[in-house]
Chain A
Amino acid sequence: DAKTTQPNSMESNEEEPVHLPCNHSTISGTDYIHWYRQLPSQGPEYVIHGLTSNVNNRMASLAIAEDRKSSTLILHRATLRDAAVYYCILRRNSGYSTLTFGKGTMLLVSP
């Protein structure tokens, strides 16, 4: 599976934007970039995904580098509820394309 690299942790203040980086230099042309998050004591939660173009949804924005070797998840205004582990996952076009979770980035949000 293609590997992603994320910082172990990041800190933010409430109501400030947060940019969570992810490196995926071995991405292949058909890999989708998925982001999930896991709030404390809960199951993973889908956040957003993209292939080549930047994407926006009600939860976040995903900015994908032109060479696709990195991406950034953007939370426009962090809230305390956004404190979670954020996973950047490449969903490879093989088999039934299961998700392979790494360690992710633990986002701490301060009031």
Chain B
Amino acid sequence: EPEVTQTPSHQVTQMGQEVILRCVPISNHLYFYWYRQILGQKVEFLVSFYNNEISEKSEIFDDQFSVERPDGSNFTLKIRSTKLEDSAMYFCASSSGQALGSPLHFGNGTRLTVT
């Protein structure tokens, strides 16, 4: 069964550094998402992306964050200048459609540790 893959599985970075988290969505999917989960807390929506532009974003997704689909297969999340509070699991997801019945398929996440 096709799956969403994320790399790296664990990223350690120093405060103030830029990080790029990478995702390969399922190949025929058109809608892409990033979520994050701080340890012990809820899964939180960050951003959704369709047709090469952001379709929705949460309050968490401020100017430090950006997303890109640089080619036909990758979907990236960049954090420009990391803060300690950015430490979390970051999950990428994709779906084939926008319809309310279209399930999201999630990757297994990248654990980001900011020191």
Contacts and interface: CB of A to CB of B under 8 A. Distances in A.
Contacts of B42: 101-103
B43 A101 contact: yes
- Interface of A (DSSP majority class): loop
Given A42-B108, A95-B55, A102-B42, A49 B103 contact: yes
A111 interface: no
9 contacts: A42-B108, A43-B4, A43-B106, A43-B109, A46-B104, A49-B101, A96-B98, A98-B48, A101-B44
Interface in B73-101: 91, 93, 98, 100-101
Contacts of A99: 45, 104
A8 interface: no
Chain B interface, >50% SS class: strand
A97 B103 CA distance: 11
Interface string B23-62: 0000000010101000000111100101000011000000
Tier of interface size on chain B: 20 to 34
Interface of A: 30-32, 34, 36, 38, 41-46, 49, 51, 87, 91, 93, 95-103
A70 to B, nearest CB: 19
A62 B62 CA distance: 37
Contacts of A97: 98, 100
